Structure 1
């Protein structure tokens, strides 16, 4: 399927132009043929006028001079074919050009004056014939048919040459028309390219909306897109504000309940109830943080992000090196300085923060981060030399809603957020064994 609008328009215009020319070509050929036949008829009529002016009737017999004023009648090789028949159809005179020719033609004297026709001989030769009936010649009453002929091959040769020139001319005209159409479509679709460029800038975050410097036919589209962008931003902001308000309104009562639980625990008699209460309060607090992170890190529907990976990794590793300074983790970063990933910066910080924090905490002494670009894909891999994840647990912990905090406290919420972030940006997360000996979290993004 052809996806280019300009190519589609060019093909449609080319087909229409070709059909128009194919329909016009026979009409032009017919017009030229009729014009050429009319020219031949007029020329033969002029040739007959020469014969009529030279003819004389003496004693009832036709007299023609040995040499006619038109030299073509006198030269056999050049030859104008001229005949004169009497009223009974007997041949009474012929031009020198007809000496070696036998043409089967019988005039039809019917009083209609003259006739222009096309005849065909038994050997396949064709001739144009102009036959003039003359009733008064040389001042005396006499009736003759004066006939001039011209071979059709000359007409056909001229017509073939004209047809060839028409084909060449139409081909050149079609080529020139295609060039002009391509230039016109390029100029006409320039506004669409400008709109596409502005959309790319909106997707990359370089501009807030589309300009109004577009043709009138596109203003409704650009206005609708701008309203959609504005509505999306407002909706996202209202969503975040509402969640923030909800979180703040819940955290204060939770803090009070947590304080009461601690007081109950110090009382001695209700330590078990206090422990259960504090556990539920902590679980509620974690769920609030988790849902806030999910809501705030969801990508926009129209904006396509591109964030440099190396600075984010450097910042996070620097922070984690300070947190785990006693562990002396050796970090290897195999990431090109200009490498970019299609994800929002805040989401990337949350994603890498959770995975790197897990790697630092669970590794023995090595963590490795690598990034490579494959055909149609970008792959980010975070590995460690820790205990890894059992093979029978990998599918479960990567499913939405499954958490490892029941067996390994502190990992459940982080992995759930990581999975949500990757899903929201159309990525894929897989868990494998690392050559270092621990776990390898492999994140794959599709390139557009």
Structure 2
């Protein structure tokens, strides 16, 4: 299972990092190009000014008028230099002091080492003046410009990183808000499970509405199928009960023979099977849900009924803190009815039922002071039709029906010996959303 929020965040983060990284590189290179073009334009302008200041004195001796030389070329190691080669003579700026420019063959030379370790950008051109070839080279120290450009790129990179973080935070906020309809759907599904609502009714974006409609359609379909199944099984059971009762009465009037005994046994098996399938129909094919709104009142009514059937048995209910139980009322009455009736059958004098909420679960203990069971017999008793004492009336279906209902609710059931009453102790846990 993956997180949609995390997936979107990682995808956007990767896209933004690539975009801003490419943008930073492109802007940095563009700044370098523009800076270099500006420097070359200035060097070319200086060359034109120097060529204008170049004159010839008789007999064809080139000289540069000092007053027409820019002041920047007069200061030693100022970072601005020129060098002119003409008629076998080399003239250079005072800023070079006693050094020479490393004139290159190419017109533009970058990152050339100059005086006092300076990094130079050189522009070299050859022109013809007064019938003579003049080779002029101007240079400028670009160390400070490179430092400024590097600082700009660092600041640009920091800005890009801050922009990525800001956009990721914004995107996270937008995704959280965009996923809120799904959270509301989840909340309503939880309410649907508890029986508080019968369908999802929230307004959602058009992209999610088909999901909501499909959920509602599926819930309605399950309910219709469950109702049809219950009605069909109920009708079938009632249809079979009457002829089975008539057949049983006829057989009772017959003389006891092996064949008649076999018929009686088979009729009992059919009745047991019908009872079992009716019990299964109450839980099969459905997602457990609904609310048991007033368990205390229902259990008190159930206790009074059992007291009339088993007047010699004392039934004690401990329902401290009992409120609404997230479970179907009929299922819970089936569970408690079977457990309390089973306890009354086997108890000497006492049956105790304790219900409590514990760590998100409903914990139910039903114990008695009867003979109890061995640990090895616990799982055996939960099987269909198994009875450890055939002398006690019953079909052996009660605990197996309880087990099936508990399993339908993803709960657990264990059988053991009561620590206080020393009889059977049935412990059930049912998850409570």
**Residue 52 (str. 1) matches residue 51 (str. 2):** yes
Distance in 2, Cα, partners of 1:407 & 1:91: 132
Corresponding residue of 2:378? 394
What SS class does the counterpart of residue 414 from structure 2 fall into? strand
CA–CA distance in 1 between the matches of 2:111 and 2:249? 122
Distance in 2 between the 1:369 and 1:396 partners?
Answer: 24
**Deviation larger for 202-211 or 32-41:** 202-211
Q: Could you tell me whether the CA contact under 8 Å between 1:386 and 1:439 is conserved in 2? A: yes
TM-score normalised by structure 2 residue count = 0.86
Contact 2:338 2:402 in 1 (8 A): yes
Match of 2:38 in 1: 39
Is 1:135 the counterpart of 2:121 in the alignment? no
Q: Deviations over 1:105-159 (max 9, x none)?
A: 2365xxxxx92222534997531001233323xxx44432222111232232122
Greater shift in the superposed pair: 415-424 or 379-388 = 379-388
**1:72 counterpart SS class:** helix
Deviations 1:392-437 (A, max 9, x none): 4323212345345735322612112111111222222211111021
Coordinate RMSD, CA, aligned: 3.3
Distance in 1 between the 2:219 and 2:44 partners?
82
Q: Write out aligned runs for 1:220-235 (5 A).
A: 220-235=210-225
Answer whether contact 1:68 1:74 (CA < 8 A) is retained: no
Q: Distance in 1 between matches of 2:406 and 2:250?
A: 39
2:107 aligns to what? 115
Change (3 A) 1:16 1:423: same
Kindly report which structure 2 residues correspond to 1:44-443, keeping only aligned pairs within 5 A, or say none.
44-59=43-58, 60-68=60-68, 70-76=70-76, 78-88=78-88, 90-92=89-91, 94-99=92-97, 102-106=99-103, 115-118=107-110, 120-121=112-113, 125-136=118-129, 140-211=130-201, 213-261=203-251, 264=253, 281-298=267-284, 300-301=286-287, 304-305=289-290, 307=292, 311=296, 314-315=299-300, 318-320=303-305, 322-323=307-308, 326-327=311-312, 329=314, 331-333=316-318, 335-338=320-323, 340-341=325-326, 343-363=327-347, 364-374=349-359, 378-404=362-388, 406-410=390-394, 412-436=396-420, 437-443=422-428
1:191 & 1:370 partners in 2: Cα distance? 37
Tell me the distance in 2 between the aligned counterparts of 1:291 and 1:346.
16
Give distance in 1, aligned partners of 2:238 and 2:188: 39
- Cα separation, 1, equivalents of 2:204 and 2:79: 72
CA–CA separation in structure 1 for the residues paired with 2:431 and 2:186 = 21
Question: Given that residues 351 and 366 in structure 2 are in contact (C-alpha distance below 8 angstroms), is that contact kept between their aligned partners in structure 1?
Answer: no
State the aligned residue count: 429
Change (3 A) 1:234 1:212: same
Q: With the length of structure 1 as denominator, give the TM-score of the two structures.
A: 0.83
In structure 1, stretches of 5+ residues that fail to align are 109-113
Cα deviation for residue 49 of structure 1 reads: 2.9
Cα contact 1:350–1:418 (8 A) shared by 2: yes
Structure 2, gaps ≥5 residues long: none
SS in 2 for 1:233: helix
Q: Displacement of 1:253 after TM fit?
A: 1.6
Deviation larger for 436-445 or 188-197: 188-197
